Amino acid sequence: MIPTLRVMSDGIVRTRRDLCLAVAANAQLTEEQTKESLPSGQLTYENRIGWGLSFLTNVGALDRPSRGYYVITEAGRQVLSQFPTGVREQDINVLGEDASSPIRPYAASAGRKTETVELPSESAALTPTEQVQSGIKRIHSEVADELLSRLQGKDPSFFENAVVQLLVAMGYGGTNGSGSVTQLTNDGGIDGVIDQDILGLSRVYIQAKRYASDNSVQRPEVQGFVGALHGKADSGVFITTSRFSQGAQDYVAISPTRIVLIDGKRLTDLMIRYNVGVQVRETYNIVAIDEDFFA
């Protein structure tokens, strides 16, 4: 991470590719080291720089002014100043606990309550299976943050289409059902409709709010959605990239219309689970002795 921050300290906006080459040079990697690769085929140094970029962006030390581009922030300069020769993730997390520091606690982002992913020390007694599970959990956390950032950066119509695709992928379109985004301008707050059967007798109505991290969905917006459902359905799904205020949650708890609230955290968890907006990059098989073979 420190070689990355050293390269970025000049304030220039760089692409990930340019940054990888510059960081390799700054870290004085040999030609042999830059050719080392993982079993997947990805170059080892690019993979490690990628993890460093992801972590530094997550805690606010780097910023992404646009897709694939990075620039250092004041928080990044603080990390570089305090740890010029090397830094561990634990060190940055401790720095983030200081209220006066511009560093954010790890994995604290829109709709995702501050739930720090465990970063065990190398001496921690983890079994190989536990290490794999811990790694997968961390990768999913990183991807979830990136998903939210991407969704928030798109226009509302893209987000509406994305949530319809998600619910269809979850099976709410039925065997012969379908989903679509509402095209009417006076749709009454209904952004999407999913027909669960071929005749459209059973429908799921959707409200989608593409909100920034600090903008929560309030009670009046949920009430408006419930009003739009009157005479159409007795249930609906309200999805946002941010979170729901306590007032909105309290209203849903007492409303005769069943409304399912999906905040940013649950949204990205579901997208990862049902492979919407993500791709499986690598698959690993964990093997064990076949006792029947040796019986």
Which domain CATH number covers 233? 3.40.1350.10
- Per-residue confidence (pLDDT) for residue 110, from 0 to 100: 39
- How do strand 178-181 and strand 69-72 relate by DSSP bridges? unpaired
For residue 116, being part of any structural domain is answered with no
| pLDDT tens column, 209-263 | 999 888 999 999 999 999 998 888 888 999 999 999 999 999 999 999 999 999 9
- Per-residue confidence (pLDDT) for residue 122, from 0 to 100: 47
For residue 113, being part of any structural domain is answered with no
| Residues 256, 207 within the same domain | yes
| pLDDT tens column, 29-43 | 999 999 998 777 788
| Residues 181, 42 within the same domain | no
- Per-residue confidence (pLDDT) for residue 117, from 0 to 100: 45
Q: Which residue has the tokens 């940055």?
A: 92
* Cα gap 217→229, rounded to integer Å: 18
* Cα gap 121→58, rounded to integer Å: 20
| Residues 62, 142 within the same domain | no
| Residues 89, 137 within the same domain | no
Final residue before a domain boundary, out of 106, 137, 155: 106
Does pLDDT of 15 surpass 70? yes
Number of domains in the chain: 2
| Residues 217, 242 within the same domain | yes
Does pLDDT of 70 surpass 80? yes
For residue 127, being part of any structural domain is answered with yes
Say if residues 120 and 134 touch (Cβ distance below 8 Å).
yes
- Per-residue confidence (pLDDT) for residue 115, from 0 to 100: 44
For residue 76, being part of any structural domain is answered with yes
Final residue before a domain boundary, out of 78, 106, 134: 106
- How do strand 14-15 and strand 69-72 relate by DSSP bridges? antiparallel
Q: What is the rounded average pLDDT for all residues in the chain?
A: 83
For residue 115, being part of any structural domain is answered with no
Q: Which domain holds residue 193?
A: 121-295
Judged on CB neighbours under 10 Å (0-12, 13-18, 19+), 79 is: buried
Write 66-73 long-range contacts (CB < 8 A, 24+).
67/150, 67/153, 68/15, 68/16, 69/13, 69/14, 69/15, 69/16, 70/8, 70/13, 70/14, 70/15, 70/16, 70/19, 71/8, 71/11, 71/12, 71/13, 71/14, 72/5, 72/8, 72/9, 72/11, 73/102
* Cα gap 148→272, rounded to integer Å: 12
| Residues 148, 200 within the same domain | yes
Final residue before a domain boundary, out of 106, 139, 156: 106
**Looking at residue 33, which CATH number applies to its domain?**
1.10.10
- Per-residue confidence (pLDDT) for residue 166, from 0 to 100: 93
| pLDDT tens column, 184-198 | 444 557 888 888 777
For residue 142, being part of any structural domain is answered with yes
| pLDDT tens column, 88-131 | 887 887 777 776 777 776 654 434 444 444 444 444 556 677 77
| Residues 250, 161 within the same domain | yes
> In the structure, what pLDDT confidence band is assigned to residue 25 with cuts at 50, 70 and 90?
very high
User: How many Cβ atoms sit within 10 Å of the Cβ of residue 52?
Assistant: 21
For residue 133, being part of any structural domain is answered with yes
- Per-residue confidence (pLDDT) for residue 177, from 0 to 100: 54
For residue 44, being part of any structural domain is answered with yes
| Residues 60, 141 within the same domain | no
Structure tokens at 262: 């999906």
Say if residues 162 and 277 touch (Cβ distance below 8 Å).
yes
| Residues 89, 210 within the same domain | no
| pLDDT tens column, 137-178 | 888 988 898 899 889 989 988 999 999 999 989 988 765 656
| Residues 128, 273 within the same domain | yes
| Residues 61, 184 within the same domain | no
| Residues 94, 172 within the same domain | no
pTM assigned to the model = 0.68
Residue range 48-54: mean pLDDT, rounded: 87
Structure tokens at 157: 């119509």
State CA 267 to chain mean position distance: 9
